[in-house]
Amino acid sequence: MNLRPLGDRMVIKPTEQEEVTKSGIYLPETAKEKPQQGTIIAVGPGARDEDGKRIAMDVKVDDVVLYAKYSGTTIKIDGIEYLILKENDVLAIVEN
């Protein structure tokens, strides 16, 4: 995949939801909640300030992040779903 996000945007691969609950119940696709966690696949160069200088991004490729539930734009490439969103839609970086 050769996506290069512009400005302060990034491409995220959402983390797949579990198909089975802890009690062993299988969930159909329609019952799953929209994911709010994913891994960053690509990052843009950053937004520009009023003087035209780049503002560095706080995230990098391979960071696992939490993002707002209904943010960004979903795209599908080769059957895999990705999300393009702005840096201000990221709520936190998950650190292990």
* 3-state SS, one letter per residue, for the chain: CCCCCCCCEEEEEECCCCCECCCCCECCHHHCCCCCEEEEEEECCCCECCCCCECCCCCCCCCEEEECCCCCEEEEECCEEEEEEEHHHEEEEECC
Q: What percent of the chain has pLDDT over 90?
A: 59
Q: What is the pTM of this model?
A: 0.78
Predicted confidence (pLDDT) per residue in 25-72, tens digit: 776 656 556 668 999 999 999 999 999 899 999 999 999 999 988 889
What pLDDT score does 31 carry?
55
